Structure 1
Amino acid sequence: MEDVVVIWLDNHIDHNNPDCHVTLTQLQRIADNVTTFTDNDECVEFIISNNHHRVYLILSGALGQYLVRCIHDIPQLHSIFIFCQNKSYHEQWAKHWYKIKDVFIDIISLCQAIQITFPQDEPNTTPISFVPSGKRLDLLNPSFMYTQLFKEILLTIEFQDKHIEDFIKHHPGLITLDSNHSSDVKQLVREYHVKKPIWWYTKGTSLHSILNYALRIMDGDILVRMGFFITDLHRNIEQLHKEQFVNTSWSSLVFTVYRGQGLSHTDFDELRNTIGGLMSFNNFFSTSTNRGVSFSYAESSADNPKLVGILFTIRVDPSQSTTPFVHVENHGYFSEETEVLFSMHTVFRIHDIKVIGSGRPIYEVNISLTLDSNEELRALTDHIRRENHVDGKGWARLGQLLIELSQQDTAEKIYDTLLNQTSDDSEEALICHQLGRIRHRQGLFQESIILYTKSLMLLEKSLPANHPSLGTLYANIGSVYDSMGDYPKSLEYYGKALSIDQQSLPENHPLLATSYGNIGSVYHSMGDYPKSLEYYEKALSIRQQSLPENHPHLATSYNNIGSVYYRKGDYSKSLEYYGKALSIRQQSLPENHPHLATSYNNIGSVYYRKGDYSKSLEYYGKALSIRQQSLPENHPHLATSYNNIGSVYYRKGDYSKSLEYYGKALSIRQQSLPENHPHLATSYNNIGSVYYRKGDYPKAHFYCERAVQIVKCSLPSNHPHLLVYKRNLACVKDALWRSSLTHIK
């Protein structure tokens, strides 16, 4: 931990002594920064000068009794631990000093105690999902759904040694082995197979923390590289579970385990609202049979004002559940450890919550492992598989899930590998289709069309002309042309898709709604708002009849209709529909999903039109933040965000800031869009407007004239943008003329 230093002060430390070496090795496995001293003065000077770390000090009994009165009140010194051979004697004087946490005679107990007192500065470091009783399944927490799918998919993949090598190659600092092994990658690979996955998970390495981190933020790149370990660890737990709990004396023995930790105040409120419902720990979940140790973790968490101290008391009935869990004793790194480890994404029922302890409130939460026969859990799992249209198997299925999570770069690596390995036309068509989706999302439009067209040609060899798969490809090609601003081409392909859908699908099928929505989007871009609204409302009508009320596709319809009202100047109506779209997306998508950015951006635009520039900047800023995290740096949507923020500064009269953001938008659009794309015209017009306001009429004329030239090539002659840009150019020409008259005079 970066903000912690563990110091071991003992006048008799000898690094050549085997016992000292063992003690030091154990300490280094719980903390990155461990320092030893044999000289009292040097140690005290080091503590006083260490202004940027919390100091955790280990002292021998006799030395501690003498030294503690001199150092106890040093601010940097957080905790003191007495490590000795006579526990009862040293406990007598140690109890008078509040920074002394306890007296220890063995290194394992000492290390566990130090870990408990380490600061927990990251709220909710354990990824948790809640499913209240009776909650509609379409309102599920996205992390609950995606971790379930990740686990299912990974368990269908056969990982090889090359995947271990790839992980170590890309994350060389994640595994901390003894120093004589750390430099040899091949030896690291061999070392991995020497011990069981549970041993690695409970050992003092970063495998544990980096896996939890990746699961918490759903980092597809790390999770894919760690797929071998996730799979191996699950199967190791599964195997030992059968040995320990299937047809053994433990099979019908109900027992209780505990876990102490901190929850953010937001998650704690959600926990209280989920009594009677379900919760899942979306990682591998460690518990202890020792209530006292777990309570200490809860107490330590309660010291942090950002956290609520929680003691989970967990009832487990092995006879009622096949969820894999295992007693770690004799299998983990610490052979004496009284730990029970549950596999990833284990689901529990929440029974009640009560306050325990004195002083700082700590909450005991009673939960139990869900039964295999639980209908609610079965319905939940079926819904997740049905709603996330991720088909195929193995790596191909994983790639689709990563695209759904907007982690295109990782998905691309998977599909590129699969493409090089296949010789089957149908498989190649599927892979090209997915790569086309990725290129489109990356803003690489021409490459996307090439890949989609290749997929189309391969499928046309074996499918009838009205097959729905061909309709999907036509729609995707139409979407790329829409992004490129080639609206006639876009309408042509969207029309082909609609024709196939009308022939092959029932009249209220959701895919028909998608086709109507796509065509409505093109008419919207062309400025034909009545036609656009007609198609958008057809799409909404079908979706309202065929989908749950909080389905993400309904959010798309609400968003689209809101955009028409926005263009018509009905901002109250627009905000109403944009708000509905945002509400659904917040419940159904990961927090950094690009569709959320779209909603924030659109609401920001409404506030911009209403003159509420502070609100507008707030929402535009949220959209930009998501796009910077989830999109390539030259993606057109980033240009949209920069352009919009530039417009706010323009309205506020901050022309320097405005020009800065408009310039960023133009730079991206010049790199990523065709030279006559309407969005380029928008950038030229906006920059021209800034120069006009600054009185630099020659520059204003250059940019405004370029805007008019582009829209004449790309938009209908009656498009509102063309009329606005012509008017702006006329104003600039008039200003230039008046300026020239002034110079003549």
Structure 2
Amino acid sequence: MASAISSTDKIDTNVEDDRLESFRLIWLDANPKETRDTEQKLRSVINYLIKFQDVKHCQKYIEQRSQKDRIVMIVSGQLGREIVPSIHKIRQIISIYVYCMNKIGNKPWADKYAKVKAVVVDLDELISRIKTDHKIQKVVEEPLSINYFSTDTGKSTTGVNGQFVFSQILIDCLLRLKSTQTDTKELIDRCKHQYEGNSCELSNLHQFEKEYSPDKALWWYTRESFFYKTLNAALRTQDVHLIFLFRAFISDIHRQLKNYQCQGFLRVYRSQMISSDELNALKQCCGQFICVNSFFSTSTDYRQVLSFLNVLHGTDNLEPVLFEIDADPKMIAAKPFANISEHSDYKDESEILFMLGSIFRLNSVNRSSDNQVSIIRMTLCSENEHDLKHVLMYMKHQLGGGETNLQTLGKVLWEMGKLDLAEKYFNRLLKQLPSNDPLLTNLYEDLGRLASQSGQYDISLQWHQKSLRLKNPKQLFDAINMETRASSIGTRGGTFKFKIN
């Protein structure tokens, strides 16, 4: 599916598209006047462009978007008067631009809504304003993906601590899983499909295919291109398969961060717009640990970071926050952080980048002295200094040392309760193995137990039969006797233990 959808109101608003970015651009106008050149310029900023001519269809589409979506909207003056009062408080809407022929007539009503960033009559001015604002939006508006770990036994932590631990295990597993040319080709093909018709990003993709090298990973990550947009969206939405396809490049970034690891103590900052619910969740976790499931970009330039919030101050239903982070390289081992300015596409920025999965102790959440911003103070932590130490050591020991494989990944996902994904990677490995590979016996058994746990008992039996055919006659005889004694193969479906062979 191309990412620019022509003007139509027949789109199925209930179907979530397969986008690779967090941001989308909606254009609502009863009489659209944009040209292909305009569309190309807009898609060079935000690839996914969808156009509506009907207010009701447009509003329905907006209301059904995920909480992790971020929407920039262009609307005509006439339709803007109708729809803006209804949608301006929706979290997913981050900015609105009124593009009209009568600026004087539309500015009075538009000024009542904080998310209306401009009323413009010139198309070039519209595009320029969207492009300028989006540079800041990418920093402060892109959703954060955070897992919490509570050491307070008096609080209900069902599932919460488990998500924290398994996010760490999954990252460790993927970083040690060797990538293949097939994986890279699948990633590139997905991106080409996503950016079909976007000449700017297709050019970037072509350059990436021809020129990428591991020592340029940070440059590509900081560059304004598909690489940053799609990788960040994959991490923030926890799209496991897309992260799987990106794992070689994540490993390259990890390696560069280790090579350029900061050597001294730093205090760094990050500005962010978050919902009131997100802020309250952070307040409830003071004294606990959080894990950021993406690369975490910060700066040593306090004033510049704070200025981003000044630009966006006053947005409805959102809270401006400032992360203040103390980071000591002596406290970390596996998750490096580095000043990447010299290796960035923006060398004049004082950017400190933390590895994805970095763990922080949340010390406090307080209002600033002028009561304008919530300051979230955190300290970078090691895996060895808190209650996670023993469980992480045990589970990483289960993964073993050296390289992991698709079977290992499948078992980790199985333990996480992601049965469909576990089956997907077991089958992916199955297609790669020769018919005489010794791994097949265990792989067939894993597929059999997985099918049993999913309630697919006939399929489970077929996988176990395949496994038995590969065993020697004595093993087969013993297995048949055991099967005879068992009341049902399904009774053994829940006996899986996290054990990597």
* Distance apart, 1:464 and its partner CA: 11
State whether structure 2 residue 199 is matched by structure 1 residue 179: yes
Aligned to 1:279: 290
Aligned to 2:389: 378
* Distance apart, 1:423 and its partner CA: 5.3
* Distance apart, 1:410 and its partner CA: 4.0
Aligned to 1:260: 271
What residue ranges of structure 1 are gaps of 5+ in the alignment?
6-14, 16-23, 35-44, 59-66, 83-106, 246-250, 479-488, 498-510, 519-550, 553-745
Q: Contact 1:165–1:189 (CA<8 Å) still a contact in 2?
A: no
Aligned to 2:171: 151
Aligned to 1:447: 459
Given the superposition, is the C-alpha separation of residues 303 and 115 from structure 1 closer, same or farther in structure 2, using an over 3 Å criterion?
farther
Secondary structure (helix, strand or coil) at the match of 2:341 reads coil
Q: For residues 389 and 155 of structure 1, what CA distance do their matches in structure 2 show? A: 13
Aligned to 2:77: 48
Q: Contact 1:255–1:316 (CA<8 Å) still a contact in 2?
A: yes
Q: For residues 396 and 75 of structure 2, what CA distance do their matches in structure 1 show? A: 57
Q: For residues 409 and 402 of structure 2, what CA distance do their matches in structure 1 show? A: 9
Aligned to 2:185: 165
State whether structure 2 residue 99 is matched by structure 1 residue 79: no
* Distance apart, 1:267 and its partner CA: 3.7
Given the superposition, is the C-alpha separation of residues 397 and 376 from structure 1 closer, same or farther in structure 2, using an over 3 Å criterion?
same
Letter in 2 for 1:362: V
> C-alpha deviations, 1:208-242, integer Å up to 9, x for none?
4444443444333222222233223222322332x
Letter in 2 for 1:238: K
Secondary structure (helix, strand or coil) at the match of 1:218 reads coil
> C-alpha deviations, 1:46-79, integer Å up to 9, x for none?
8535737955599xxxxxxxx9877743628922
Aligned to 1:600: none
Q: Contact 1:120–1:301 (CA<8 Å) still a contact in 2?
A: no
Aligned to 2:443: 431
Aligned to 1:333: 345
Q: Percent identity?
A: 21
* Distance apart, 1:351 and its partner CA: 1.8
Q: For residues 318 and 205 of structure 1, what CA distance do their matches in structure 2 show? A: 30
* Distance apart, 1:190 and its partner CA: 1.9
Q: How high is the TM-score relative to the length of structure 1? A: 0.47
> C-alpha deviations, 1:611-630, integer Å up to 9, x for none?
xxxxxxxxxxxxxxxxxxxx
Alignment of 1:524-603 (within 5 A): none
Q: For residues 284 and 133 of structure 2, what CA distance do their matches in structure 1 show? A: 33
Q: Contact 1:308–1:362 (CA<8 Å) still a contact in 2?
A: yes
Q: For residues 395 and 450 of structure 1, what CA distance do their matches in structure 2 show? A: 21
Q: For residues 351 and 204 of structure 2, what CA distance do their matches in structure 1 show? A: 32
Letter in 2 for 1:491: S
Q: Contact 1:315–1:369 (CA<8 Å) still a contact in 2?
A: yes
State whether structure 2 residue 280 is matched by structure 1 residue 269: yes
Aligned to 1:88: none
Given the superposition, is the C-alpha separation of residues 169 and 438 from structure 1 closer, same or farther in structure 2, using an over 3 Å criterion?
farther
Structure with the greater alpha carbon radius of gyration: 1
Aligned to 1:560: none
Secondary structure (helix, strand or coil) at the match of 2:447 reads helix
State whether structure 2 residue 128 is matched by structure 1 residue 132: no
Q: For residues 171 and 340 of structure 2, what CA distance do their matches in structure 1 show? A: 21
State whether structure 2 residue 136 is matched by structure 1 residue 116: yes
Given the superposition, is the C-alpha separation of residues 146 and 112 from structure 1 closer, same or farther in structure 2, using an over 3 Å criterion?
farther
Letter in 2 for 1:127: S
Given the superposition, is the C-alpha separation of residues 344 and 329 from structure 1 closer, same or farther in structure 2, using an over 3 Å criterion?
same
State whether structure 2 residue 339 is matched by structure 1 residue 310: no
Q: Contact 2:178–2:404 (CA<8 Å) still a contact in 1?
A: no
Q: For residues 374 and 278 of structure 2, what CA distance do their matches in structure 1 show? A: 13
Letter in 1 for 2:144: T
Which has a greater percent of helix?
Answer: 1
Q: Contact 1:391–1:397 (CA<8 Å) still a contact in 2?
A: no
Task: Give the superposed CA RMSD.
Answer: 4.9
What residue ranges of structure 2 are gaps of 5+ in the alignment?
1-22, 28-36, 50-73, 85-94, 121-127
Q: Contact 1:300–1:309 (CA<8 Å) still a contact in 2?
A: no
Q: Contact 2:423–2:450 (CA<8 Å) still a contact in 1?
A: yes
Letter in 2 for 1:48: G
Aligned length: 415
Aligned to 2:24: 2
> C-alpha deviations, 1:504-523, integer Å up to 9, x for none?
xxxxxxx9xx67xx9xxxxx
Please point out which of 205, 223, 229 is paired with 1:203: 223
Q: Contact 2:468–2:476 (CA<8 Å) still a contact in 1?
A: no
* Distance apart, 1:406 and its partner CA: 4.5
Given the superposition, is the C-alpha separation of residues 391 and 447 from structure 1 closer, same or farther in structure 2, using an over 3 Å criterion?
farther
Of the structure 1 ranges 288-297 and 396-405, higher mean CA displacement relative to structure 2 is found in 288-297
Q: Contact 2:286–2:363 (CA<8 Å) still a contact in 1?
A: yes
State whether structure 2 residue 452 is matched by structure 1 residue 414: no
Q: For residues 49 and 138 of structure 1, what CA distance do their matches in structure 2 show? A: 50
Of the structure 1 ranges 273-282 and 73-82, higher mean CA displacement relative to structure 2 is found in 73-82
Q: For residues 197 and 161 of structure 2, what CA distance do their matches in structure 1 show? A: 37
Q: For residues 244 and 229 of structure 2, what CA distance do their matches in structure 1 show? A: 16
Please point out which of 209, 212, 224 is paired with 1:189: 209
Q: How high is the TM-score relative to the length of structure 2? A: 0.66
Structure having greater relative contact order (Cα 8 Å, sep ≥ 6): 2
Q: Contact 2:295–2:356 (CA<8 Å) still a contact in 1?
A: yes
* Distance apart, 1:285 and its partner CA: 0.8
Which has a greater percent of strand?
Answer: 2
* Distance apart, 1:197 and its partner CA: 2.0
Q: For residues 175 and 192 of structure 1, what CA distance do their matches in structure 2 show? A: 19
* Distance apart, 1:128 and its partner CA: 0.7
Please point out which of 246, 249, 256 is paired with 1:236: 256
Q: Contact 1:4–1:56 (CA<8 Å) still a contact in 2?
A: no
Secondary structure (helix, strand or coil) at the match of 2:364 reads strand
Q: For residues 315 and 282 of structure 1, what CA distance do their matches in structure 2 show? A: 19
